Chains A and B, each alone.
Chain A
Amino acid sequence: MSTKVVDRAPLTFYERTYLPAILGGIKVTSKHLFNTLVKGKAVTMEYPEQKWVVPAGYRGAPYLVKDQEGATKCVSCQLCEFVCPPKAIKITPPGPEGQPADRANAEKMPQEFEINMLRCIFCGFCQEVCPEEAIFLQKDYSLTGQSREEMIYNKEKLLKLGGTHAGIQKWKHKLEEAQEQETFPVAKK
């Protein structure tokens, strides 16, 4: 390794009076003061009033979604419950006597669907594993509550927060396919 000797010129008399440093200081500080005070260019985002724009593909809190017709998309297959690494999801299936799904051709929907937002790590596995496009990581990042119980979101709350998702409607298409079978062009002859 070679040593590089940096040439440090001794300070001139002008520099030793500290005047260049003081003038530089005045220049920089007054520039920033002017920008903040007059031009209003403070970099601070005043959080509760101003919020940052959540980028596309952001992994926020997972919520259940409804389809275009307002029906529950979740069919209570429990894949998300099994894949969930921190075990934040707890699904209560309807059982044999339970309430049927609120849309045609779907076999069932969950009786209760709970996500513990204190356990959730926002990994997105539930969204990835869901065969029904029923759960999505949305843009909420600021979840607050007064107690632990409050942070366990139930089905009603999740559906309300999740809103409608304009994805494919798998069971509607299955139904249409089945109905088309009835009126197959061959039968028309």
Chain B
Amino acid sequence: MDSIQYLDPTTQFVLFSILKVMLVFAVAMTGVAYSVLVERKVSAWIQDRPGPNRVAPFFVEFIPVIGPWLTRLGIFQPMADGLKSFLKEDYTPSYVRKVYFWLAPAIACVPSLMTLAVIPFGSTLGNAANKMVIADLNVGILYSFGIVSLGVYGIVLAGYAANSKYPFLGGIRSSAQMISYEIAMGMSVVAIFLLVGDLNLSSVIQYQSGGLHQWLIWKQPLAFVIFMIAAFAETNRLPFDLPESETELVGGYHTEYSSMKFALFFMGEYAAMIAASGMMVTLFLGGWSSPFGSEPATTMLGGLIHIGWFLAKVAALMVVFIWTRWMLPRFRYDQLMDLGWRRFIPLALANILVTALIVAFTHK
């Protein structure tokens, strides 16, 4: 580690950024793979099934007790799933619009990964100059909203490119849904920034780092609820998975996709869920700070503990995402629009107004 100090600050910054990018990407991709597993397991348990419990590399059976237990938990399933996606035939139907057909999966996957760049996943690792966030933007939340809204292009493009009626309907639904919930989502966050007074996500966490009672979820419960429901709609999760809706649109926008192209949509969806969970944790649940209150870490261990808190909170929210899927039936299209435009937008506006008034009268 000593040799790093002799490099000039710019080189150090670049090196650390590359390291952080790779780390976050690796963790996010592992997170995607294992949230698929958690999804399958939790779904199975809720439906009285054991879930995936067979796949294991050949050597696992020689590990006593732990090996079979891990196999029962399906720990090795994501590897098999990933391998399967790579080995499947990548079929391109003859009637698709080829360029867009190839472009859409990438466009669907990239924005959700880019959002992760501004989410602070830890305080520091001892050295105060190296914040545990890839890009410590002053306009963090604006950036993330800008990028998240690009996510809809992937889906709309997929629906258009497939040149068949069900993906097309999925694409149309998606664009309408994401545009309407984007507004409610953005408005719900305004109240947060009225309280914090800064758009930088690190400052938002600093504001909440005093402990459980300081978390913004208590000060802005309405904003949290609106943000969370909007996040469900943005990530196309049930009860708002209208662009996909297997039962009516046979898979919606990705009907015509197979193999790794389909897997990219899938990864994009789960990465978007992770990003949305990370955003909720940052905005409402204290980010990397522990529920007992914490300062930015001064040691390596402290920094790792903070990262651990962040990951634990994200994982908990992911379980909420997954669980909700089996709680509620899918919304009808008009109900979805009604909820977005006629309930959440006025509520979010009222929330901004009330918060602004309180801030105006108390803040001196």
Which residue numbers of A lie inside 8 Å of B, CB to CB?
18, 21-22, 25-26, 28-29, 32-33, 35-37, 41-44, 46
Contacts and interface: CB of A to CB of B under 8 A. Distances in A.
A25 B328 contact: yes
B49 A36 contact: yes
Contacts of B46: 29, 32-33, 36
A37 B45 contact: yes
Contact of B327 (A26, A35, A37): A26
A154 B53 CA distance: 38
Interface string B209-249: 00000000000000000000000000000000000000000
A37 B41 CA distance: 10
Contacts of A21: 328
Contact of B323 (A29, A35, A41, A44): A29
B42 A33 contact: yes
A35 B326 CA distance: 16
Contacts of A26: 327
Contacts of A46: 50, 53
B48 interface: yes
Main secondary structure of the interface of A (DSSP, over half): helix
A26 B327 CA distance: 6
B322 to A, nearest CB: 11
Main secondary structure of the interface of B (DSSP, over half): helix
B327 A41 contact: no
B327 A42 contact: no
A43 B49 CA distance: 6
Contact of A29 (B44, B49, B50, B327): B327
A186 B48 CA distance: 76
B328 A33 contact: no
Contact of A36 (B48, B326, B327, B328): B48
A29 B46 CA distance: 6
Given A18-B328, A41-B48, A44-B48, 12 more contacts: A28-B327, A29-B46, A32-B45, A32-B47, A33-B45, A36-B48, A37-B45, A42-B44, A42-B45, A42-B48, A43-B48, A44-B49
Given A42-B50, A44-B50, A46-B50, A25 B327 contact: yes
Contacts of B53: 46
Nearest to A26: B327
Contact of A35 (B42, B44, B48): B48
A52 B5 CA distance: 68
A25 B328 CA distance: 6
Contacts of B326: 25, 29
7 contacts: A22-B328, A25-B326, A29-B323, A32-B47, A32-B48, A35-B48, A36-B44
A-B CB proximity, top 10 nearest: A25-B327, A36-B45, A43-B48, A42-B50, A29-B46, A33-B45, A29-B326, A44-B49, A32-B46, A37-B45
Contacts of B324: 25
Interface string B45-69: 1111110010000000000000000
Nearest to A21: B328
